[in-house]
Amino acid sequence: MKIRTRKKPRPLVKLDAIIPRLAPNYPRLSEMKQDAAKRQRGYIGEKKVDYYLDNLASRYTIIQDVCLQVNGKASQSDNVICGKHAIYLVEAKHFKDKIIFNTNLRQLIRSDGTIESGFEYPITQIENQQFHLQNYLFQHNMPDIPIHYFVAIADPSTIIEVAGDEKELAKVVAHGARIPSMILEKEQVLADAGQKQLPDWKIGKQILRDCIEYDRDIIRQYGIQLRDLSPGVMCPECRLLGMQRVYKGWKCVKCGLFSIDAHKTALEDFFILFRPYIRNSECMKWLRFDSKNIATKLLRDFGLNYDENYRIWRL
């Protein structure tokens, strides 16, 4: 059973909310766009691999997008699969064209010649996750659970090459479609070797309880000031920022689209970028209109609760 499903990662949600609100000449805009594109590519890759891993959901306990804190350090894993005889970590990697794993130097080289070394080497990365999870299980009185890992190459058309020990690498790296059967094979090997059965559901529930939401302080990372972000409601059709408030909705001055609820995305942006509450006056400023009554109506309809003491609307 899948007990935690993947959502769009919060850092990506933030970047997608910030980028259209910055001036085109904002100094670090292109860097942020690259960051967003990389995260988007990763997210698509994870979803592709999820499609295959779903085949295991009827047998094992699957927890997607796991972030656990151990000794003050957080580590994130794309997938933690609790099997009957072991826990499996599956990390999705999304690359175009061709990738070369150099097993001796522990480097990943992309076909365009870029070297991703050190911690970016997928095996090193997932070994660190394995170590982290081991520590976590140890701290929760589950010290003897074997943890195995796989690196899933998301795109079936990506060519995987190996410089070095191809046989060893092929045991843990494969295209996403192959991973479920590799896990089943591993389970069989462990069962044949007499590895005792695990309470996979119980372990899964414990991990789920301790999962935190992976996040990054994008605002601070890029040194963004509140005044750098343009307020306004974005047109869902042509992406113009600054729809006009008209009777019972919003109208785009560029493409003419009328929308009843285009402001909802803008409010979500506010909450994810700033804080989980808003004042009436802030709402009017952020959505760019001038009516206290309408602000009250929109915020109430959004499902917020009014706190009379502080005169704020809470999520």
Binding site for Zn ion (CB under 5 A): 235, 237-238, 240, 252, 254-255, 257
Angle between helix 10-18 and helix 29-53 axes, rounded to 10 deg: 140
Q: Which lies closer to Zn ion via its Cβ, residue 49 or residue 235?
A: 235
Q: Which lies closer to Zn ion via its Cβ, residue 142 or residue 240?
A: 240
Q: Which lies closer to Zn ion via its Cβ, residue 11 or residue 242?
A: 242
Number of residues assigned to the chain: 315
E-assigned strand segments in 44-86: 61-70, 73-82
CA distance 102 to 173: 13
Residue 165: how many other CB atoms lie within 10 Å: 12
Cβ at position 255, least distance to Zn ion in Å: 3
Exposure pattern of 15-51 as b/e (b: 16+ CB <10 Å)? bbbbeebbeeebeeeeebeebbeebbebbebbebbbe
Cβ at position 185, least distance to Zn ion in Å: 53
Q: Which lies closer to Zn ion via its Cβ, residue 68 or residue 233?
A: 233
Q: Are 58 and 45 within 8 A, CB to CB?
A: no
Q: Which lies closer to Zn ion via its Cβ, residue 18 or residue 235?
A: 235
Cβ at position 234, least distance to Zn ion in Å: 9
Cβ at position 233, least distance to Zn ion in Å: 11
Q: Which lies closer to Zn ion via its Cβ, residue 163 or residue 240?
A: 240
Cβ at position 254, least distance to Zn ion in Å: 5
Cβ at position 257, least distance to Zn ion in Å: 5
Which residues have a Cβ under 8 Å from the Cβ of 156 and sit 6 or more positions away?
175, 176, 177
Q: Tokens 């690196």 belong to which residue?
A: 151
